[in-house]
Structure 1
Amino acid sequence: MAADGGVLAVSSMETPSWAVRLRGADGEIAGAGILLSADHVLTCAHVVGGAGAVLTAEFVGAPGHGVPAVLARVDGDAYVPEALDEDGDPGGDVALLRLEKSRPPGDAVRLHRLSAPDRRVRMYGFPLDHNGGIWFRATVVGGCGRDGQVQMSPASPGEVASPGCSGAGVADSLTGEVIGMVLSGQRDQHGNLYSYMTPAETIVRHLPGVEAYTVGRAAVDARLRSTEDDAARELFDERFAQRLADWLQDDGTPLKISVVGHDDDARAATLRRAVTLADRELRTAVSVGRTFLEPPGTVPSAGDHDLALHAGGLASAEIAERIAERMGLWQHTGESPADCIRTAKVTLTLVVVGVDEALDPPALLELLDVLRAGGSRLLLVFRTDGEHHRQACRLLLDRPARERRDRLVERLREITGPLAAAVFERRSTVVPEKVPPLDADLVAVHAALFDLLRARAPGGGPDPARYERLADRVSARLTGHLRHLDLLAARRDELTGRLRSYHVLHQHATRGAEDPAVDELYLRAHSLLRATPCDVRAAEAAVDDFTHRVDAGGEAGSGPDDGGAGSGPDDRYTGSGADCGTGYGAVSPYRDGGRPE
């Protein structure tokens, strides 16, 4: 980065030298900015307020005790105001300012093209009461709207972007590189808090001059970009385009393998079109808006993929390096790119065309399998349906499907075996308050298990996702019911101890004299607690009847040799039933009408 004229990655929580505080003509803080060069500051158009406005740029991270201030105005026509599309989604809102007086080049930073999904980021803005600036933390959630903007979830409610943060640089927490710019923050009608940023690629599309201050290779290889010749020859496969758009917009299929032969010009052009439209930087202004002239369901959204590579003539090590760079893993020295990818908890949506034209297709397939296992989404395009294509289907489709089915089978067996047995064993000891439809659930799980064991072809048979949802639902019910039964069993044990304590207290207080009424209450409670299964609610009522009667007898006095109620060595037992002895009454799950969960 320093060699490119910018500072090194942010490595501390200090005020970054590239952070700019912008004031309007009224002297109030209008927002933030990013110093991209000695003469240029990037910010939001709404911070500027108008193409002819003059602002004061203040460099709060400059060394020394003072804060240098320099006048700034829009650099030529580098001003794109915010505009709403036909869906009401915002776009644009970027501006590049030129400083009247240059700053030290070493204080500037470069924007970096980097895949964004699920990344933890930091922003340095100037909200109310924090004129000197403050860091905000967030996690990238995903793209929003058609312009390629990105939604971020704040790390805490107080860290949502607020006035004074617009235009702030968004730095990746892993690498420290600035990957975008804060646009705004929002609380929706449901109380959810979000911040929004525009990534480097989207900024470059709106302000081509910013590309000079942007590093990192573009997300789409030159060989995969749509050409004027594609449009002129009207090469288009509508059904293929719809399938591509569905996958790029995440149809729930993590991996897609397709064949596009060299002689199939229409499918090749359709593939280039989809890849180009799904890129934030290459997508044209026309395609960002609602495309009425395009066939329905054929236009992906900007940012639907993170990287599109052509593997033809490349070694797997070169491809791994390209992927690791896009993931932001290049700083891990001492490890190969493939090892970095294997150990990193970073995912991306990857398009690889010409897999069978790579220098070493088997090695490339192993790398792609690592990405698949790590959670990345993959679109793999082959030129022929030959051996490499068949190997990819076996390695990336059949084997994972078989392993997934085997895991599901084991899980269903666990549900119908040990988990169900534990539930029915507990139900033989205590009576549940509520009984979920366990019999029907277990019949459904047994049927699913039968279907899975009967299916032979890994790619055929029942839909595993449906049975996984069934397993989730039934497992949650059984586990919750088991927890409920365990609470009842624990309550039964507490009641047994309480009854025993009060029985000893009663016998001591009466010197062993018979009291048929109290004895009958004791025997009834004792019988209910020993019953299998035990009705804990009925047993608790019976124990309460007995303990209340014992307490009432103690308060009324006793035999001629007693010193009166509460006297003698055993006055520790007197008092209310809730506080007496072991104090079990205070923890009853039925107090105040409540029931165990």
Structure 2
Amino acid sequence: MAAGQRRSSEDEQWRVRLVDTEGRTHGAGVQLGQRHVLTCAHVVSDIGDDVVVRAGSATARAVVRRSVPTLPDGRGDVALLELDRDLPGDGAVLHRAAVSWDRAVHVFGFPEELSDGVYARTVTAGRAGPGSEWIQMNARSSVEQRVRRGFSGGGVVDDQTGAVLGIVVSAYKDKTQASANLSWMIPVETIISHLPDVTRWVTGESAADEVFSGRASPEVSRVGVAKALADWLARSGRGDVVITVVGADRRELYRLVALADRESRLVAPDAPDGTVPAVGSIDLAVDASGRTADEVALRIVRRVGIAVDERVGSSALVRSGIPPMTVAVDGVDQAVDPDELLNGVLRPLAEHGTRLILGFRHPESPSLTAARAWEVDQRLDDLSRVIVAHGGDRAMRLRQRVTELRIIAKRLGPAAVRPQLEKFAREVAGIEADAGPDDVPRELHEQEKLLDVYLAKAVKRRIAERPDLVALHRTATGLLRREPPDLDAVKDTVLAYARAVRREERK
């Protein structure tokens, strides 16, 4: 069945449990084909040498074919088992996808008190875990079944498409804390990086076109460019939407993509500080050279895992809104129609929260001029938001400077402003660094007002009582009242709530 088609729980006959010879359950697994099972290495090590796999009434003994135990830094923890006999059914198909925030998924596990198994419904959050290899999952509400011991190794399934996006690896173990509703998954691409043998059971679009890995080198040739790109990626919560890379500087873009790719990431052990991105920080890297806007849009849509309706063009699907991602597009000026690509696909993506790294071959390309004007404009918008959050004469002078830079950009073009932007950004960073404790309550108040705005929108659309929104609102409210306040956590949770409501508004 295609990844875009919805499945029912009755289709998930690939779910298995792993037990010892005395019948005690230690975890779950995903049947692949008829003779293999994917699970966590720690589940296998808990059992020992005699691993028994149960699929309904069928049983088989298993031996470890490939295993990556939990490494000293916490990464790894995956195992591929081979069985001594065939299990019924064809097994699961794993699916690569850009796993966005607030994606509704479900898992099935075998906790001790519910030996026949139970479903737990969660929503995905951001990158997490050792080396950013995992993806966080949050329970949809406090009354949901929570992921706990007995779920490890179980398949994580997308509610909408039925695609198996990864396996459960861990859960928060302190039942007395609100964080007990947290758990983590290992996405398919991370599994492939450790266990290449599973690739034959994998479908879905890869995170990066081959041209990126083919041109990538672990060596840094332009340290300033590499640091600027890595720093831009790290500013994901700031609304800094687009950055451009031109000519030979694109070598650092190829390196950045290869280092961030979960599946086939480059290793750069001696890289200069500040030049290595987080694993999984780029959801998709596309080479637009020779492609139409629709072809690029189709690549994006497929990466998300959206079913493509032949009656609706991919560009229209992108414009209607897809989950926010971070996307690198190289060869923008070598696309069939660069203007159509910029205005018909990339701008709508950015308007719906996607961040973009845009590569251009020629510094004199008209499309580069348009993209740089866009880059300058949104960067000034981003800096303005920071300045407005602070008062005083210094902030007033910085606001005036924003106006001056906009006038220069309009009269002389973006190239006249770009050299001044980094210096100005450092000045704005200074006002943040100098902010006293009294500034935090002000920002918390702004976040509280924003949460109230989106709650009102949710009430108006009669979705405020939806379990995932209730869970997010409850978490945000709790964080707003916590002492001492964690402003970053508040911003992330309020943003997640706002995005969930906005998605409903676009339907």
- CA–CA separation in structure 2 for the residues paired with 1:223 and 1:445: 45
Distance 2:53 2:443 in 1: 60
Matched, 1:164 2:146: no
1:365 maps to which of 342, 346, 360: 342
Candidates 384, 389, 392, aligned match of 2:371? 392
Q: In 2, Cα distance between the equivalents of 1:170 and 1:383?
A: 40
Structure 1 counterpart of 2:295, from 314, 318, 321:
318
Residues 315, 464 of structure 1: alpha-carbon distance in 2 compared, 3 angstrom cutoff: farther
Map Cα deviations across residues 9-59 of structure 1 (whole Å, 9 max, x no partner). Answer: 553344721111111223101111111212111111111117972322222
CA–CA distance in structure 2, aligned partners of residues 71 and 315 of structure 1: 52
Q: Is it true that 1:270 corresponds to 2:252 in the alignment?
A: yes
Distance apart, 1:104 and its partner CA: 3.8
Q: CA deviation at 1:68?
A: 1.9
- Corresponding residue SS for 1:192: helix
Asked whether 1:225 is paired with 2:220, we answer no
Q: Which residue of 2 aligns with 1:376?
A: 354
C-alpha displacement at 1:382, in angstroms?
A: 0.8
- Between stretches 357-366 and 185-194, larger displacement belongs to 185-194
Q: Say which is worse superposed, 150-159 or 205-214, in terms of deviation.
A: 150-159
Corresponding residue number in structure 1 for 2:312: 335
Which residues in structure 2 correspond to 1:454-465 (within 5 Å)? 456-457=406-407
2:224 paired with 1:236: no
Q: In 2 relative to 1, CA 385–123 (structure 1 residues): closer, same or farther, beyond 3 Å?
A: same
Among 39, 51, 71, the residue aligned to 1:55: 51
C-alpha distance in 2 between matches for 1:156 and 1:340:
30
Identity of aligned residues (%): 33
- Residue aligning to 2:14: 18
The alpha-carbon deviation at position 326 of structure 1 amounts to: 0.7
Q: Which residue of 2 aligns with 1:129?
A: 113
**Residue 321 of structure 2 contacts residue 349 of structure 2 at CA under 8 Å; is this kept in 1?**
no
Listed one character per residue, the Cα deviations across residues 126-156 of structure 1 (whole Å, up to 9, x for unaligned) are 1122222221122222112315221212223
Name the CA distance, whole Å, in 1 between partners of 2:384 and 2:259: 39
Contact 2:20 2:47 in 1 (8 A): no
Residue 281 (structure 1) aligned with residue 263 (structure 2): yes
Q: Matches of 2:290 and 2:47 in 1, distance apart?
A: 48
CA separation of 1:237 and 1:396: change in aligned 2, threshold 3 A: closer
Contact 1:369 1:395 in 2 (8 A): no
**Conserved? CA contact 1:259–1:385, under 8 Å:** no
Q: Give the distance between the partners of 1:406 and 1:257, measured in 2 at CA.
A: 17
Alignment partner, residue 111 of structure 1: 94
Aligned to 1:37: 33
User: In 2, are the aligned partners of 1:441 and 1:474 still within 8 Å (CA)?
Assistant: no
Q: Shift in Å at residue 442 of structure 1? A: 10
SS in 1 for 2:323: coil
TM-score by length of 1: 0.63
Structure 2: how far apart are the matches of 1:156 and 1:325?
A: 30
- Is 2:184 aligned against 1:199? no
Preserved contact between residue 52 and residue 73 of structure 1 (Cα < 8 Å): no
Q: Can you list the C-alpha shifts for 1:154-205, whole angstroms capped at 9, x where unaligned?
A: 2234543211100010111222201111001014696523211111011011
Distance of 2:18 and 2:126 partners within structure 1: 28
Q: Structure 1 residue 179 and structure 2 residue 169: aligned? A: no
Matches within 5 A, 1:157-556: 157=142, 158-187=144-173, 191-193=178-180, 194-225=182-213, 230=217, 236-250=221-235, 252=238, 254-261=240-247, 264=248, 267-284=249-266, 291=269, 293-332=270-309, 334-366=311-343, 367-386=345-364, 387-395=366-374, 397-398=376-377, 456-457=406-407, 473=442
Gaps of 5+ in 1: 61-66, 413-439, 481-597
Q: Is the 8 A contact 1:306 1:350 kept in 2?
A: yes
- The reply on whether 1:74 has 2:60 as its aligned counterpart is no
Distance (Å, rounded) in 2 between the aligned partners of 1:121 and 1:475: 31
Give the CA deviation at 1:244: 1.9
CA contact (8 A) 1:51 1:79 kept: no
Give CA-to-partner distance per residue, 1:316-368, whole Å, 9 cap, x none: 11110000001111254532212222223411110111110111111110110
Alpha-carbon distance between aligned partners in 2 of 1:363 and 1:256, rounded to the nearest angstrom: 17
SS in 2 for 1:49: helix
After superposition, the Cα gap between the structure-2 partners of 1:101 and 1:257, relative to the gap in structure 1 and judged at 3 Å, is same
Q: Note if contact 1:220-1:275 (Cα within 8 Å) is conserved in structure 2.
A: yes
Change (3 A) 1:253 1:84: farther
Equivalent-residue separation in structure 2 for 1:117 and 1:13 (angstroms):
22
Q: 1:10 to 1:182 in 2, by over 3 A?
A: farther
In the alignment, is residue 46 of structure 1 matched against residue 32 of structure 2? no
Amino acid at match of 1:280: R
Question: Does the CA-based 8 Å contact 1:51-1:74 persist in structure 2?
Answer: no
Note if contact 2:35-2:82 (Cα within 8 Å) is conserved in structure 1.
yes
* Alpha-carbon separation, structure 2, partners of 1:407 and 1:250: 14
- For 1:235 and 1:245, the matched residues in 2 are separated by 12
Contact kept, 8 Å, 1:162 with 1:185, in 2: the verdict is: yes
Let me know the Cα RMSD of the aligned residues.
3.7
Cα pair 1:153 1:195 within 8 Å, conserved: yes
Contact 1:175 1:331 in 2 (8 A): no
Structure 2 counterpart SS, 1:31: strand
Partner of 2:483: none
Contact 2:206/2:303 (8 A) holds in 1: no
Normalized against structure 2, the TM-score is what?
0.73
Q: Which residue type is aligned with residue 139 of structure 1?
A: V
Matched AA of 1:304: S
Q: Match for residue 136 of structure 2?
A: 151
Change over 3 Å in CA distance of 1:403–1:273 after alignment to 2 = closer
Letter in 1 for 2:353: G
Say whether the 8 Å CA contact 1:329–1:340 is kept in structure 2. no
Give the 3-state SS of the residue equivalent to 1:81 in structure 2: strand
Tell me the secondary structure at the aligned position of residue 172 of structure 2. Answer: strand
Residue deviations 1:91-116 (CA, integer Å, cap 9, x gap): 1111111122213444x221111001
Q: What is residue 99 of structure 1 aligned with on the other side?
A: 83
Q: Please tell me whether Structure 1 or Structure 2 has the larger radius of gyration of its CA atoms.
A: 1
Q: Structure 1: how far apart are the matches of 2:230 and 2:391?
A: 37
